[in-house]
Amino acid sequence: MSALRRRTIILIVGVYIVVCVSMICRNRIGARTTPSQIVSQQYDFGQGRVGEVIEHEFVVNNPFKVPVHIDKVTTNCSCTLARKVPQVIPTSASCSIPVQVKLNKDGDYIGAAITLHLREHDPIQLIVRGMVIRQLPGTISFGKIKRGKCHKKQFIVRSLNDKPLNILEANARDGLFTVDYRRSSTNLLDALVSVQLVNDVPDGYFDVPLEIITDDDVAPIKWIRIQGYAMRPVEAEPSILMFGTIALNETKTRVIRLRPTYGDPFSVDHVEVAPQDVIECNEPQIAGPDGSMEMPITVKGNFPSRILNGTVNIYVKVNEEIRKCAVTCYAMRKRPL
């Protein structure tokens, strides 16, 4: 055999070996490469209503030259699969995964995730996301109100389907407000609800549930909370006094202001404190042109426990009525050195 022919055969064999090694390495790299960055998908349905079922079909592609095995499927919500997920995604092929998500959280953002756990690969996720349209405002807050005036709020109860929503009954607890409802003028499918507080709302905070019964097939009973603060004729500011740490034989004094909310003149009838041997109140003094008064409150360090939670009830006389203003006193016993 001539030297030229021998060199040619060696060159051909060398090229063949290089090509084979290159193909083997490429397949192994493809087998080790995770397809998660390629096949993970998201579907944004925009907006939906409570009770609605969102359906979407994901197509998962396998771009590699080896089959991808699906060991198990997990979810983070009430989403379901329309049919069983195949156990293997064939080489350079795809499979479809239909997903159903039921919207059951009013006014929330939803991010439903279905995780496919792959053998020898990182998990991949199929995410369905969007916003559930708020059907009710959840809470109606009147804020601070003055008794004897007309306070009214309106809100919309939305229909969950394509037929008009009818309110059958609205139950107002504790008789703090009256409820009126009618068809919305802007959208005939929705109902407009009006809540009006009564004139003699009790002083202080109120938090009352309102039950609305409708002919809605998805969610017939709807709840909403009515909250607010009915200002007293005389308010104590601040209503919470923090005295910090006090030694056993030490005393500390803080000053509160009694302010007439409605501008009516008032006088202090009497004061009750608890515990009596720890808290003392001095005579109030006129402190402003609006008739407000300042009252010093003194706390002694001889309270029995390490933390003091005392009360001062100030009874004032306004328009021949006796009304109460409450002040809470907090203090802590200073540890001896």
Confidence of residue 33 (pLDDT cuts 50, 70, 90): very low
Task: Name the average pLDDT for the chain.
Answer: 81
Confidence (pLDDT) at 287: 81
Question: Which candidate, 195, 196, 131, 136, places its Cα nearest to that of 165?
Answer: 136
Length, in residues, of the chain: 337
CATH architecture classification, 139-231 = Sandwich (2.60)
For residue 42 the two structure tokens come to 């998201």
For residue 334 the two structure tokens come to 């200073």
Residue 37 reports pLDDT greater than 50: no
Residue-wise pLDDT tens digits, 16-29: 676 666 666 555 54
Question: Which candidate, 116, 128, 109, places its Cα nearest to that of 38?
Answer: 116
Spell out the residues 6+ positions from residue 316 whose beta carbon is closer than 8 angstroms to its own: 233, 234, 258, 266, 267, 268, 269, 322, 323, 324, 325
CA pair distance 89, 72, nearest whole angstrom: 13
Mean per-residue pLDDT for 313-319? 91
Q: Where are the domains of the chain?
A: 36-132, 139-231, 234-333
Question: Which candidate, 66, 68, 67, places its Cα nearest to that of 28?
Answer: 66
Mean per-residue pLDDT for 194-203? 81
Residue-wise pLDDT tens digits, 103-154: 776 556 777 888 888 887 788 888 888 877 666 667 888 888 877 677 888 8
Residue 271 reports pLDDT greater than 90: yes
Helix (H) or strand (E) holding 236: strand 234-237
Helix H segments across the chain?
3-32, 36-39
Mean per-residue pLDDT for 189-193? 82
For residue 153 the two structure tokens come to 């709020």
Q: Measured on CA atoms in the order 5, 9, 10, 14, is the torsion positive or negative?
A: positive
Q: What is the CA radius of gyration of the chain?
A: 36
Q: Measured on CA atoms in the order 301, 305, 308, 313, is the torsion positive or negative?
A: negative
Question: Under DSSP, is residue 192 helix (H, G, I), strand (E, B) or coil?
Answer: strand
Mean per-residue pLDDT for 159-175? 78
Highest-pLDDT range among 155-164, 172-181, 245-254: 245-254
- At the top level of CATH, which class does the domain 36-132 belong to? mainly beta
Matching fold, domains 36-132 and 139-231: yes
Higher pLDDT among residues 78 and 101, named by residue:
101
Residue-wise pLDDT tens digits, 242-261: 999 999 889 999 999 999 98
- Select from 1.10.1060.10, 2.40.50.220, 3.30.70.2080, 2.60.40.10 the CATH code of 234-333: 2.60.40.10
Whole-angstrom CA distances from 79 to 59, 87, 135 are 17, 20, 21
